[in-house]
Structure 1
């Protein structure tokens, strides 16, 4: 499914209000698990943190939660520069990594971070009814799993139906290769089980925008598994899902994809 990549320049410009650029604040290293300090391991204290950039406005704005990539074994929390100062809150999430924890723990962390944002983002001018979950590669997989598997947010007494949109960048829709590696399964051998977003396709999932690199340049079958996820979501009756293939770009396709995410958030949030 080839798509032309044409962007509106507006998507990459800072939002202007009353003829002036908005002012933003950044808060760093917020621990997002609701546990007493005595229950936190040193590793959790180092990893289970999030940063927030938010505009200083007198109204609530959309929220983008961003999970970094790195194969569930590397990487650190970030607020991508392409998402800064776009008129909404951006939350960069850190999470524990394999092999210090089982890779499935990363999904638990992702769900805990989303739950924290839902319960607390109003303090940072964020609108909890307009939360969009995104991330690159492993981060895209985590966002998909935390939302598509309804049991993940239900553990935090939340429904995944409260998520306004999912925008994974080159995320696994099959079981993640690091989880398969923990089981002694090679990356070329696909698995679809309860740790695969594909296992959880459903009609009532949030609005979804799937973005991958060029099928000839991507990691092992990454476009094709996203295309299968897209097709199965259509088959079960999902009405609002789109797949973009970034022609000429490989797995590291974030820069040309960010404007699509920004436009998606503005469109779904009805922001001009």
Structure 2
């Protein structure tokens, strides 16, 4: 499998995954034109896409979904509650391009095995995605305030983790957000902090050279440097060699990562 983070953050999210027989997006939270340009920058034409999977209806994940579907006749894959929630914002979609799944039940699309995993977020019915093909496994887990033991068990053994490190706790507490919004961000249905992210990775990583992207960073309550430092320092404190056991990067807010082949 090949993987690229096209953009990640509150200003828009989109991931690209390629297998032997499939090319698809997880989320399209930017304009259709912007996503086309981002794909082009990694040598991929939008018309080559086979489908788009949506994690939840918030516009930073769904803004370009309808436009891309209509422009390139792309199926959209989402659960029933997410379809209802984004129905008025993404525009008219052809019936044959509406694919509905049940969260926590495996689905198969082309040569890709997909597990949409229920997560904790203040949306209609948000999911993370576990994607497997040809013995490789990618886990995409953002926009959740909590990672349960059941969720950890499902993502364990991944070759690549795309995991939320949304905020630095001190920056959030001392920052400009009103108290109600701070409570929402740090709550069960909000977002993972840097240290939350580190704790999850500490349990998941096996020291087998896994790829890790710290993702969905808050522009107001975090910095790439803080996120990376917090996670790396924690992993080193539990004995992990972060220079060799795993490769950890921060997903850029506006620009694509390199196209990684697993």
Report the TM-score range of the alignment, normalised by the length of the smaller protein.
0.3 to 0.5
TM-score (norm 2): 0.41
TM-score (norm 1): 0.40
